Amino acid sequence: MSRIAYVNGQYVRHADAAVHVEDRGYQFADGVYEVCEVWQGRIVDMPRHFDRLDRSLGELRIDWPMARAAFEFVVRQVVRRNRVRNGLVYIQVTRGVSRRDHFFPPEEVAPSVVVTARSTSTEAANAQAAKGISVVSYPENRWPRVDIKTIALLPNVLAKQNAKENGGKEAWYVDTDGFVTEGGSTNAWIVTRDGTLVTRPAESGILRGITRTVILDLIQKEGLTFEERPFSLEEAYDAKEAFVTAATSIVMPVVQVDDRTIGNGHPGSVSTRLREVFHTATDFQMV
């Protein structure tokens, strides 16, 4: 089966999925995106992702490309047409196609929409989670509006590539005060030696992760101790556990930060438990 993508009103073969070279997403990074997990044939927390998409579009003053219900239908269709049971669905909206000019284009220019989906291996992800990952710290060098989920991801690309070249799977941004902000494409968490879960408030310098929000619910449910505050890289080095969260990795244990082993070098019990029970706290949309 060839993969199918949705591009500006049409379902096309993935190989043929193309946008004009003067799409503002291509020349100005003038667009936003969302990635939802597909789990057992259902889309995880789509309403929350669409709520965040609404906020991102609003911050950039990009119009909704279609009614929300119609857009949700398209997303479900793309998942269904690609027969994804476990995987991801990717949603991108840009300010549309117009002759290159930094200023917003005329009112009549419609936003561009791309939706793609693909299967991922649950076994491979679980095997990775059983081992844990290494993260590599990186000086925070992004613009301050990282609360908007934009496609201007070049800084994240470079930070993550640096992590990879230093044996890691994720970068942790560290601000000038020595505090971890977030990962290159994940939110960052630690569990302190006294068992307290810590993550940075979404109000300052990070994206408000959907998976992060689910974890906050789970923490309540599970009766865990939690502090929402910045933590330093030094504190992370000495943590009992660490993990990252994102729709693409759910809860992924971190067993090394830079050259420092976290805890006993194996995924911690809190991280592992949160990963196991994750889908008890999510909402599902049938495709």
149, 160, 169, 240: the catalytic one is: 149
Q: How many CB atoms lie within 10 A of CB 115?
A: 23
Structure tokens at 179: 């505090």
DSSP 94: E
Cα separations in angstroms, 17 against 34, 134, 187: 18, 35, 31
Contact predicate 197/226, CB 8 Å:
yes
> Residue 116 CB, nearest distance to a second copy (Å)?
7
Question: Using CA atoms, how far apart are residues 115 and 105, in angstroms rounded to an integer?
Answer: 23
User: Which residue, 27 or 232, has its beta carbon nearer to a second copy?
Assistant: 27
Chain centre to alpha carbon of residue 83: 22
User: Which residue, 43 or 97, has its beta carbon nearer to a second copy?
Assistant: 97
Contact predicate 245/227, CB 8 Å:
no
User: Which residue, 24 or 240, has its beta carbon nearer to a second copy?
Assistant: 24
Question: Using CA atoms, how far apart are residues 47 and 100, in angstroms rounded to an integer?
Answer: 34
| 221 included as an active-site residue | no
User: Which residue, 94 or 199, has its beta carbon nearer to a second copy?
Assistant: 94
User: Which residue, 22 or 235, has its beta carbon nearer to a second copy?
Assistant: 22
Question: Using CA atoms, how far apart are residues 50 and 67, in angstroms rounded to an integer?
Answer: 11
Q: Is 201 exposed, middle or buried (0-12, 13-18, 19+ CB in 10 A)?
A: exposed
> Residue 12 CB, nearest distance to a second copy (Å)?
9
User: Which residue, 139 or 223, has its beta carbon nearer to a second copy?
Assistant: 139
> Residue 259 CB, nearest distance to a second copy (Å)?
21
DSSP 81: H
Contact predicate 37/91, CB 8 Å:
no
> Residue 153 CB, nearest distance to a second copy (Å)?
4
Contacting residues toward a second copy, per CB under 8 A:
5, 7, 17-30, 33, 60, 90, 92, 99-100, 102-104, 114, 116, 118, 141-145, 150-158, 160-161, 164, 184-185
> Residue 141 CB, nearest distance to a second copy (Å)?
5
> Residue 143 CB, nearest distance to a second copy (Å)?
5
Q: Is 107 exposed, middle or buried (0-12, 13-18, 19+ CB in 10 A)?
A: exposed
Would you name the residues annotated as active-site residues?
Answer: 149
